[in-house]
Structure 1
Amino acid sequence: MPHPTAPVTADDLDLAVRMAVATLREAPPRAWEAKAGSLEWDCWETVEHLSDDLFAYAAQLAPRTPPMDDEVPFVWESRRPGGPANAIHADRDAGPAGLLQVLDACGGMLSAVVRCTAPDVRAHHVFGAADAEGFAAMGIVEAVVHMYDLATGLGLPWEPPADLCARVLGRLFPDAPQDTDPWRTLLWATGRGDIPGRPRVTSWRWYGEPRR
């Protein structure tokens, strides 16, 4: 399936986050301490990490003059040895519903910033200075791939739309195969699965720089 040329949009990000939140609402209340797939974090920590990713991308793109050489200097810290280093942490007393509200809010922040950022604006990312479309695509990758980890840990079904995965692959993974299932290819490109005829990916990155 060739990668489409249609751009990745804030609406696509909204869809990915909305699907993630709706799926996570079905999680059993006692399942949040389970490991998230192959990660060393539990499912609660992984949702915090995903929320933090979305927040960080919004923060990176939002300044009047976005930084081009480093990240906006928020303090990222772990709550335990080996836990994710986040600026965003959910109040445990608010329970899973509060955690998902944090995720929804951070997704909304990024989509709002993407919508109001001019297409010629660039901001630093370690995988290449990106435009608003690039940050939207990065947010989608974080959402759908970490949802794969979470769905594994929580015992939930998860498969994002093929056309969404294909456009994200086209934007961030230009060397990925174009004739394979887009979702399986995105999992392969992020070191989480196999596709026939290709070696398993053990070290990966995306390319944030605009190519159009």
Structure 2
Amino acid sequence: MTRSSVGPVTPDDLDLAVRLSVDLLGQASADAWDRDAGSLEWTCWETVEHLADDLFAYAAQLGLRTPPSEREVPFVWERRRAAGPANVVFADRAAGPDGLMQVLEASGALLVAMVRTTPATVRAHHVFGNADPEGFAAMGIVETLVHTHDLAAGLDLDWKPPAELCARALARLFPDAPEDTDPWTALLWCTGRAELPGRPRLSTWRWYGEPRD
């Protein structure tokens, strides 16, 4: 599978990533959500809230008639605890894990809808490069896939997303991604979550959201 043959990232790809994540996480034990999410400093509950917040925020960036090119839409982000993520979106703990999954699914659906309906010529701000709707879809996919990896480690679940989905996200956001390994392992390496032969685990990383056409 070469980088040039995988095709563009689509809204259906993003929808699939979110659905696969929700379906997997829905299998977790109800008493597991306060565990750490893999190597993150956040709990599994906080990590899902962070993921939902990312998806919501990306949808919001595309939602204005004139999207901002130099800053994020100025919502108030806040932390519920000092070491937790700064979010706009939080889930009602009283609603339990089912409610948390609804918050994640709804936030993903907002981004899917915005990617489907926003003209391809639109550009909106992201710190890693002002992106078009396809770029925001790819960002949402990467956030979903890698944070589900973090969560699967904390929740004792098995997670390996489809290779084609990983390959399209890599092709869109990581132009220098290694091509001598499978796409999922390459994506984990690009996001600082794996080592590869001859390639130590990254301590800092970024993607490139700008369209390259």
TM-score interval (norm. to shorter): over 0.9
Which consecutive residues of structure 1, in runs of 5 or more, have no partner in the other structure?
A: none
Whether the 8 Å CA contact 2:6–2:167 is kept in 1: the answer is no
Whether the 8 Å CA contact 2:6–2:164 is kept in 1: the answer is no
1:2 equivalenced with 2:2 (yes/no): yes
Aligned to 2:55: 54
Whether the 8 Å CA contact 1:35–1:42 is kept in 2: the answer is yes
Which consecutive residues of structure 2, in runs of 5 or more, have no partner in the other structure?
A: none
2: CA distance, partners of 1:84 / 1:117: 28
**CA apart distance, 1:5:** 4.3
Q: Secondary structure at 1:107's aligned position in 2?
A: helix
**CA apart distance, 1:133:** 0.2
Aligned to 2:145: 144
Q: In structure 2, what residue type is equivalent to 1:2?
A: T
Q: In structure 1, what residue type is equivalent to 2:119?
A: A
Q: Secondary structure at 2:31's aligned position in 1?
A: helix
Alignment of 1:39-188 (within 5 A): 39-188=40-189
Q: In structure 1, what residue type is equivalent to 2:152?
A: A
Say what the alpha-carbon RMSD is for the aligned residues.
0.7
Aligned to 1:25: 26
Moved >4 Å (runs of 4+): none
TM-score with structure 2 length normalisation? 0.98
Spell out, residue by residue over 1:41-85, the C-alpha distance to the aligned partner (whole angstroms, 9 max, x if none). 000000000000000000011101000010000000000111100
The count of corresponding residues between Structure 1 and Structure 2 is 212
Moved more, 145-154 or 1-10: 1-10
Whether the 8 Å CA contact 1:2–1:179 is kept in 2: the answer is no
1: CA distance, partners of 2:186 / 2:20: 20
2: CA distance, partners of 1:192 / 1:199: 10
Aligned to 1:190: 191
Spell out, residue by residue over 1:115-172, the C-alpha distance to the aligned partner (whole angstroms, 9 max, x if none). 0000110001000000000000000000000000000000000011001101110100
Q: In structure 1, what residue type is equivalent to 2:2?
A: P
2: CA distance, partners of 1:176 / 1:199: 14
Of all paired residues, the percent bearing the same amino acid is 68
